[in-house]
Amino acid sequence: MKDAYERVPLMFRSQIQSRSQIQRLIPKAEIQDAENWADEWVEAVADSQDYQFSSKVETKSYQITWRFITNSGQDEGVIRPVIGAKGFPYFPGSSMKGAFWRSCPRSKRERYCGYESEGESHPGILRFHGGYPDADWSNQDIVDVVHPQEDWQLKSGGNHSAFIQISLYQPELTFGISSKEKLSTEEWEKIWRIWEKAIAQGLGTRVSAGYGQVKLDRTQLNSIVSVNLKGQGLASQLINKEGEFRANMFKASLRGHTLRLLGGVTDADTAERITKKLWGGFAGRNGAVVGELGIVFDSIDLELDDFTYTPNQNPFDIPIYELNQGKLDIVAMGKVTDKRKQNLERFLKNLLQFSLLLGGFGKSWRRVDHRIFFPDYLENGNKPMIGCHWEFLKSSTALHICVNELADITAFLDAVHNNIKNWVTKVSKEQLNPNGTNWREAFKKNNVQVWGRIAEDKEDSEAIYFFHEEYKQDRTIQRSILTGKMGQIGRIWHRMYPRKITTEKGVKITREYVELLTIFPDNSQKTKDFLQYLGSNSSEFQRLW
């Protein structure tokens, strides 16, 4: 006979081992508790009718661009939605009222939201009934994965465990507002405009990482920098092995590069402090820091597919994406002065240029997409998919770095380095430290080398063979500290950057690429030999930084 607790749905069990563990991945489990938790929930509400607002309630619907998450706070260590009547997830009316109040003009707050006077509460005319998703929410993958990797990716190790949270995938939310007074059509239009201003920065939690972003007229965003991108590579994988293009990878990458650059000019505490002010983070006992910046991403033309990998005649699919067009906005999460906004704009443009010059976004961003630059590698499907490739679209060509000669790369990296110093001293009013940090990927001149060459076309990559073959007789960097291996981050980035040049008639697009290697040397003999080779007459590479 089953123990009594085994007859209790997972949703109502304590989050302790052997009872319910939806917040973490259980090693070697065929089905995770979180999957069973979600299946039980969806099954329980399957026969319920969709939530219906009263005919006296005004409603309006909005589409979420990626994922939507609210934190009920009901289970320790677990982020899962607020669940209301009949088991439906929803955005609470109280949260709705709070967001509306913050965006409401002061002259209208008392009328719409109420006020307190001499210890007495005076309600406003509006009632906020919350927001409910469309019926399709239960047909989507709601088991979401959070995988913090910052310490592991750029510092000197650290935990990089994956955690589970429950979020809704691209729901359409319908919000309800009613009034105790009869209002004109014109006044209702004003009320909904206030509400749209309130949700322009996102709904729910983790909005700065791309969660809870609403499809609206983008002029309502407090955008600092807007850029149009295309890219392709490995898609993230949910715990059910389904692929997903995850918008939070942009913030993760930009935040990581912010730390790398700051870690090259100041000490670790200062670099962390400035980064947290910009992008948010945790501050120990002081709790979370709400950053100034967030991202909003619209995947305008996106295709998801599978790449079939066949090791030892046992095929399995690896999810991949092809983003033909996407728009990334980096937005201010609160009010910023005009001067601060100008400073942030310069900083962020440099950061985006740096990110796309030397790497990419998402999984395997340290390598080029092998399908483009090494097609023979993938013949017969017996090699794993590696790398990604990202470019600015023509509409964002102003951010592209023109490379008339390789010295232009040196000039750009020098400028970025000096601009970061100015950000620390003049903008953040902090102190420089010439020693920087001891992080593995701190971007400082005694810690990193950038090598480059001009490739004639996409088939003229020289460095891609370094990772898979001998670069000279009896010399290889395969499976070394430099290239890394499973469970160990390598110390080398490889990028094929599309070459544009400036002419008297303007910017010219070429068939060529700037092939770049960014290396954070270790002390191994293999790495020393390889760097000696790069600087020899046998190599076409030049050291640029």
Give the pLDDT confidence of 247-256 residue by residue, as tens digits.
989 999 999 9
Query: Environment class of residue 401 by beta-carbon count within 10 Å: exposed (0-12), middle (13-18) or buried (19+)?
Result: middle
Residues 289 and 180 in one domain: no
Q: Give 356's contacts (C-beta < 8 A, 6+ positions apart).
A: 390, 391, 392, 399, 497
- Of 159, 185, 220, the residue at which a domain comes to its end is 220
Residues 372 and 269 in one domain: yes
SS3 of 493, please?
Answer: strand
Residues 96 and 236 in one domain: no
Of 116, 114, 139, residue with least CA distance to 125: 114
Q: What is the pLDDT of residue 512?
A: 96
Q: What is the pLDDT of residue 1?
A: 41
Sheet of strand 542-543, all strands in order from the earlier edge strand to the far edge: 492-503, 506-519, 449-455, 542-543
- pTM of the full structure: 0.87
Beta strands in 213-258 (DSSP E): 223-234, 236-237, 243-244
Residues 366 and 243 in one domain: yes
Residue 74 near residue 80 (C-beta atoms within 8 A): yes
For residues 388 and 377, give the distance between their C-alpha atoms in angstroms, rounded to a whole number: 15
Q: Residue 52 is part of which domain span?
A: 4-220
Tokens of 528: 């020393």
Q: What is the number of other CB atoms lying within 10 angstroms of the CB of residue 95?
A: 17
HSE-up of residue 129 (Cα within 13 Å, Cβ side): 19
Residue 250 near residue 331 (C-beta atoms within 8 A): no
- Of 220, 238, 265, the residue at which a domain comes to its end is 220
Q: What is the pLDDT of residue 4?
A: 61
Of 88, 62, 67, residue with least CA distance to 206: 67
Residues 196 and 307 in one domain: no
Residue stretches of the chain with pLDDT short of 50: 1
- Of 163, 187, 220, the residue at which a domain comes to its end is 220
Q: What is the pLDDT of residue 511?
A: 95
Residues 245 and 216 in one domain: no
Q: What is the pLDDT of residue 59?
A: 94
Residues 76 and 119 in one domain: yes
Q: What is the pLDDT of residue 151?
A: 61
Q: Give 375's contacts (C-beta < 8 A, 6+ positions apart).
A: none
Residues 134 and 241 in one domain: no
Residues 146 and 244 in one domain: no
Residues 207 and 243 in one domain: no
Tokens of 173: 């939310």
Residues 84 and 197 in one domain: yes
Helices (H), 396-535: 407-422, 525-534
Residues 271 and 353 in one domain: yes
SS3 of 397, please?
Answer: helix
For residues 367 and 381, give the distance between their C-alpha atoms in angstroms, rounded to a whole number: 19
Question: How many structural domains does the chain have?
Answer: 2
